[in-house]
């Protein structure tokens, strides 16, 4: 019996056709993904606190918010809580949102970044009180990783932890998320000059830190002579 | 930005994206349930504050609260004249006109002429309908906790919110679904495993003939025979025949079938195994562009996306700037989007196709998917620009509704 509202996780992949006709009695399922509610209708519904609009809002932006927070924090046990905090803050503040529906995503992204940044600052302040071990990838996620990739991710975020928070956030959005300067300006409400200055400073610090870390150095190939010797990696679309 | 560092940091992003995909739907569902129950608890606390008000005001406020917040889960169905439709009712559209069926939360089902539908169940959290025959257009508004099910012959459609046309012809045993919004995954007779059908695509199954056909609407506008390679190559159009039919390309008795003859016969997994036995590297280095494209499509149909991506990449390297290379770029974009859930990479490939084939047969859908990938990355300003470009060129295309939404125009 399906759980109401649950979208089934159908097996991934393209179709595979059978040459032997299956029995017509076999029941099929057509599993939908996505919604038809326009952003404009959704925003109206959010302002009226309609549960349907809230559900659409969450489903439409959950992956985006989760990805942004993960970019800033890395793999972290607190990401689910921060995602919740982001959506709760957004739903609480949507009545005061004055933009149009096209700006909703950017506005939500701003809340997500602010939430993640607040978490980093709180941790830095209470670092001496935190005795918890570093989080590890869940076994299902870990199973798809090469060990060297797991290590590199962990070491990269350890290096990012050493950057000033403002520089870290700009660096992550530019270098890892791939946003351009204008998009970072919109996301963080700062000037282009500030984005460029923080990017440059963060880049220099990160390069220095990565150069001192054997794991990162190998993985990121920061030595000029090494990168010139190697041929460009094959782009296999992944 | 350090040019040496950027591509390597992109690998970090790709590695992170791969972790996020694992158990993504289960995680999203759990998070959604948690969020909605938190909101419900906060709403209850707000409600209880009013209970403390003295009796007159309490009665008045309770009445006001009920009027403004009627039971959100009570569902009702109406026909055009406002009459309620009871459970068990069968509706038949007239011979020459359609018959709309509206639901209280905003969804509607439009029966085309002569179509027949039966309302099987109408509960607070579920709606079941049977399409007895004919065609109907569904537009289902997503609402919390309501599960919609449409039965059409041996097929069952579970819906949470999308728009599609559904056909079931019981005499011919033919099923067809065409998506205009959202996307679905199809599982059923003659479809081994699962098949994703997205906006602008359709799936048709003929149970008696043993044929299933999938089409991307953009491919129907492919150029005519003066570009025979591209037209024959429609990579998104596949059909299979009954195994009892004798294929024209049946190998001689005792002969080992080649990978391409197996692919033509629809035996994609066997075809891929035969290609691998022959040596994929050797095939990649020796096959011509059309055959390489067929090999990549075969790998994709056999659900070996990694192999498919490698072959597409090889094709692009060996036959750069060819029409097949552009097509390969488009398919790499689809793999990045639909299999790896990597919008930045998907956007890059769709953009590559548009640069190489600005007037190509898939230009419309590539631009639509490019726009979608930009939106998924949160690049709303860029997505808006792409949306405006899309509407200028393809005002009635399958992505037009999304483009209007992004550019702030009325639908």
What is the residue-wise DSSP string for B192-210? EEEEEEETTEEEEEETTTT
3-state SS assignment for residue B183: strand
Distances (CA, A) of B331 to A33, B230, B253, B271: 21, 14, 36, 20
DSSP string, B349-409: HHHHHHHH-TTSTTHHHHHHHHHHHHHHTT-HHHHHHHHHHHHHH-TTSTTHHHHHHHHT-
CB contact under 8 A, B23 and A140: yes
Q: Please give the DSSP secondary-structure letter assigned to residue B121.
A: E
Taking the Cβ of residue A101 and every Cβ of chain B, the question of whether any pair is shorter than 8 Å is answered with yes
pLDDT single digits (tens) A77-109: 889 999 999 999 999 999 888 887 778 888 999
A228-232 mean pLDDT: 43
Say if A133 is an interface residue toward chain B (CB within 8 Å).
no
CB interface of A with B, residues 195-234, below 8 Å: 199, 203, 206-207, 219-222, 224, 227, 233-234
Do B121 and B87 meet the contact criterion of CB atoms below 8 Å apart?
A: yes
Query: Does the pLDDT at position A134 exceed 70?
Result: no
Asked if B162 and A25 come within 8 Å (Cβ–Cβ), the reply is no
- Answer whether B17 touches A (CB < 8 Å): yes
Give the residue from B256, B173, B135, B197 showing the smallest Cα distance to A10: B197
Instruction: Print pLDDT tens along chain B (411 aa).
Output: 445 566 777 777 777 777 777 777 777 877 887 887 788 777 666 555 555 555 556 555 555 554 444 444 457 787 766 677 888 888 888 888 888 888 877 777 888 888 999 888 887 777 888 888 999 888 776 555 567 778 787 776 766 557 788 888 888 888 898 887 766 666 666 665 456 677 777 888 887 776 777 776 543 333 333 322 222 222 332 332 223 232 333 444 445 678 887 877 667 888 888 888 888 888 888 888 888 888 898 888 787 888 999 999 999 988 888 888 998 999 899 888 877 778 888 999 999 999 999 988 788 888 988 988 888 887 888 888 899 998 888 887 777 877 887 877 654
Say which residue the tokens 């990449």 belong to.
B313
Residue in chain B lying closest to A106 (CA) = B378
Burial class (CB in 10 A: 0-12, 13-18, 19+), B88: exposed
Are B18 and A235 inside 8 Å of each other by CB?
Answer: no
Q: Which of A7, A19, A67, A223 to mutate to test the interface with B (most CBs of B within 10 A)?
A: A19
Is there a contact between A55 and B144 if contact means CB atoms under 8 Å apart?
A: yes
> B229-245: b or e for each residue (b if 16 or more CB lie within 10 Å)?
ebeebbbbebebbeeee
Could you tell me which residues are beta bridge partners of residue B138?
A: B109, B164
Cβ(A36)–Cβ(B181) below 8 Å: yes
What residues 19-38 of chain A have any CB closer than 8 A to a CB of chain B? 19-38
CA distance A164 to chain B (A): 18
Q: Which pLDDT score is estimated for B47?
A: 54
Pairing between β-strand B99-103 and β-strand B77-78 as defined by DSSP bridges = antiparallel
Give the three-state DSSP class for B294: helix
The Cα-based distances of A164 to A117, A167, A185, B394 in angstroms read 11, 5, 18, 47
What distance in Å separates the CA atoms of residue B405 and residue B411, rounded to the nearest whole number?
7
Distance CA B118, CA B140 (A): 17
Q: Is the CB of residue B291 less than 8 Å from the CB of residue B318?
A: no
Q: Which residues have C-beta within 8 Å of that of residue B370, sequence separation ≥ 6?
A: B333, B347, B350, B351, B354, B386
Contact, B294 vs B233, CB < 8 A? Answer: yes
Q: Does any CB of chain B come closer than 8 Å to the CB of residue A1?
A: no
CA torsion sign for B76, B80, B83, B88 is negative
Ordered DSSP codes for A37-82: --HHHHHHHHHTT-HHHHHHHHHHHHHHHHHHHHHHH-S-TTHHHH
Residue B298 DSSP SS3: helix
A236 touches chain B (CB under 8 A): yes
CA distance B252 to chain A (A): 19
Q: Which residues of A touch B207 (CB under 8 A)?
A: 21, 24
A143-156 average pLDDT score: 71
Query: Can you give the pLDDT at residue A167?
Result: 95
CB contact under 8 A, B146 and A17: no
B274 CB near a chain A CB, below 8 Å?
no
- Asked if B366 and B350 count as a contact pair (C-beta separation under 8 A), the reply is yes
For B64, other C-beta atoms within 10 Å of its C-beta total 11
Q: How far apart are CA A146 and CA A33, in angstroms?
A: 31
Both tokens assigned to A68: 């942004």
| A48 and chain B in contact, CB less than 8 A | no
CA distance B234 to chain A (A): 15
Q: Does A158 touch chain B if contact means CB atoms closer than 8 Å?
A: no
Q: Choosing among B3, B14, B16, which should be mutated to test the A contact, i.e. which has the most A CBs within 10 A? A: B16
Residue of B38, B156, B332 lying closest to A237 (CB–CB): B332
Show the CA angle centred on residue A35, arms to residues A29 and A40, nearest 5°: 170
Measured between beta carbons, the chain B residues lying within 8 angstroms of A32 are: 157-162, 182-184
Q: What is the pLDDT of residue A192?
A: 94
At residue A26, does pLDDT exceed 60?
A: no
Which residues on chain B are in Cβ contact (under 8 Å) with A70? 16, 19-20
User: Is residue A32 within 8 Å of residue B278, measured between CB atoms?
Assistant: no
Q: Given a cut of 70, is residue A226 above it in pLDDT? A: no
Q: Is A143 exposed, middle or buried (0-12, 13-18, 19+ CB in 10 A)?
A: exposed
Range ranked top by mean pLDDT from A29-38, A170-179, B204-213: A170-179
Contact between chains at A237 and B345 (C-beta distance less than 8 A):
yes
Residues 6+ apart with CB under 8 A from B183: A32, A33, A34, B162, B196, B197, B198, B199
Cβ pair B154:A12 closer than 8 A:
no
CB neighbourhood size of B131 (10 A): 25
pTM over 0.90: no
- A132 min Cα distance to partner chain B (Å): 22
Residue B31 confidence (pLDDT): 86
DSSP percent split of chain B into helix, strand, coil, nearest 5: 45, 20, 35
Eight-class DSSP state of B344? H
Q: Are B406 and B384 in contact (CB under 8 A)?
A: yes
- Residue length, chain A? 238
Give the three-state DSSP class for B139: strand
Inter-chain CB proximity B340 and A238 less than 8 Å = yes
Look at A55 and B32 and tell me if their CB atoms are within 8 Å: yes
Query: Who contacts A176 (Cβ-Cβ below 8 Å, separation ≥6)?
Result: A71, B9, B10, B12, B13, B16
The number of angstroms, rounded, from the C-alpha of A55 to the middle of its chain's C-alpha atoms is 20
The Cα–Cα gap between A173 and A116 comes to 13
């Amino acid at each position: 019996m399906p759980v109401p509202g649950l979208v089934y996780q159908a097996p991934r992949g393209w179709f595979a056709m059978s040459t032997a006709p299956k029995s017509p009695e076999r029941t099929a399922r057509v599993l939908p993904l996505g919604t038809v509610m326009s952003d404009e209708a959704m925003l109206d519904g959010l302002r009226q606190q309609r549960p349907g609009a809230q559900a659409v809002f969450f489903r439409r932006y959950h992956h985006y918010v989760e990805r942004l927070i993960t970019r800033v924090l890395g793999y972290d046990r607190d990401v689910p809580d921060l995602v919740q905090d982001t959506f709760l803050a957004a739903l609480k503040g949507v009545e005061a949102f004055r933009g149009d529906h096209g700006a909703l995503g950017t506005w939500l992204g701003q809340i997500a970044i602010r939430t993640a940044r607040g978490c980093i600052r709180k941790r830095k302040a209470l670092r001496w009180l935190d005795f918890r071990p570093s989080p590890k990838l869940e076994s299902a996620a870990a199973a798809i990783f090469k060990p060297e990739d797991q290590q590199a991710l962990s070491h990269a975020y350890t290096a990012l932890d050493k950057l000033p928070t403002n520089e870290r956030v700009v660096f992550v959005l530019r270098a890892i998320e791939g946003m351009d300067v204008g998009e970072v300006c919109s996301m963080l409400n700062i000037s282009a000059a500030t984005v460029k200055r923080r990017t440059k400073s963060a880049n220099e610090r990160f390069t220095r830190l990565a150069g001192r870390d054997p794991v990162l150095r190998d993985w990121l190939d920061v030595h000029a002579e090494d990168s010139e010797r190697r041929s460009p990696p094959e782009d296999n679309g992944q | 930005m350090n040019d040496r560092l950027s591509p390597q940091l992109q690998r970090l992003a790709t590695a992170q994206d791969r972790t996020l995909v694992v158990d993504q739907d289960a995680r999203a569902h759990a998070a959604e349930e948690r969020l909605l129950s938190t909101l419900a608890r906060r709403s209850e606390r707000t409600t209880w504050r009013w209970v403390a008000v003295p009796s007159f005001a309490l009665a008045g406020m309770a009445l006001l609260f009920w009027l403004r917040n009627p039971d959100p889960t009570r569902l009702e169905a109406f026909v055009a004249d406002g009459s309620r439709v009871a459970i068990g009712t069968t509706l038949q559209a007239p011979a020459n006109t359609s018959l709309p069926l509206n639901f209280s939360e905003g969804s509607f089902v439009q029966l085309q002429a002569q179509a027949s539908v039966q309302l099987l169940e109408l509960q607070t959290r579920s709606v079941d309908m049977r399409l007895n025959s004919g065609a109907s257009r569904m537009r289902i508004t997503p609402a919390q906790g309501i599960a919609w099910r449409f039965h059409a012959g041996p097929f069952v459609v579970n819906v949470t919110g999308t728009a599609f046309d559904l056909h079931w012809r019981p005499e011919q045993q033919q099923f067809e679904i065409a998506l205009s919004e959202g996307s679905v995954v199809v599982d059923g007779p003659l479809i081994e495993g699962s098949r994703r059908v997205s906006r602008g695509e359709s799936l048709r199954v003929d149970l008696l003939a043993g044929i299933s056909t999938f089409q991307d609407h953009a491919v129907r506008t492919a150029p005519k025979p003066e570009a025979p390679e591209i037209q024959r190559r429609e990579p998104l159009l596949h059909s299979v025949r009954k195994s009892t039919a004798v294929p024209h390309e049946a190998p001689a008795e005792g002969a080992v079938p080649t990978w391409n003859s197996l692919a033509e016969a629809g035996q994609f997994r066997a075809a891929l195994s035969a290609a691998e036995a022959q040596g994929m590297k050797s095939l990649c280095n020796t096959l011509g562009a059309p055959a390489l494209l067929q090999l990549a499509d075969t790998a994709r149909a056999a659900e070996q996306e990694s192999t498919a991506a490698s072959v597409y990449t090889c094709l692009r390297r060996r036959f750069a700037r060819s029409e097949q290379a552009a097509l390969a770029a488009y398919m790499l974009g689809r793999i990045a989007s639909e299999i790896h859930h990597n919008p930045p990479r998907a956007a890059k490939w769709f953009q590559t196709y548009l640069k190489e084939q600005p007037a190509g047969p898939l230009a419309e859908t590539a631009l639509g998917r490019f726009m979608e990938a930009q939106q998924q990355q949160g690049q709303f300003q860029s997505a808006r620009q792409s949306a405006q470009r899309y509407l200028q060129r393809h005002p009635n295309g399958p992505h037009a509704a999304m483009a209007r939404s992004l550019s702030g125009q009325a639908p």
